[in-house]
């Protein structure tokens, strides 16, 4: 459900960053850490991917 976030960014000028995945469809948490900054306002992530079934490490 990325489209609503894309629309919000268009409307507000916010920047949408997508956490990259590895070949197994797992989030690359080391890359995620690099994406965060003092300007980060919202982080949104599904616990379980509806497309791939991968379980994301939300506690991290």
15 SS3 class: coil
Residue 11 resides in a domain: yes
pLDDT tens, residue by residue, 19-55: 999 999 899 999 999 999 999 999 988 888 888 888 9
Asked if residue 56 belongs to a domain, the reply is no
Please give the residue range of the domain that contains residue 19.
3-35
- Domain total of the chain: 1
Q: Is the pLDDT at 59 greater than 90, yes or no?
A: no
* pLDDT of amino acid 1: 77
């Amino acid at each position: 459900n990325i489209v609503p976030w894309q629309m919000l960014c268009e409307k507000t000028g916010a920047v949408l960053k997508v956490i990259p995945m590895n070949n197994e469809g797992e989030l690359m948490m080391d890359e995620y850490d690099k994406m965060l900054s003092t300007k980060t306002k919202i982080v949104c992530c599904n616990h379980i991917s509806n497309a791939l079934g991968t379980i994301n490490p939300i506690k991290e």
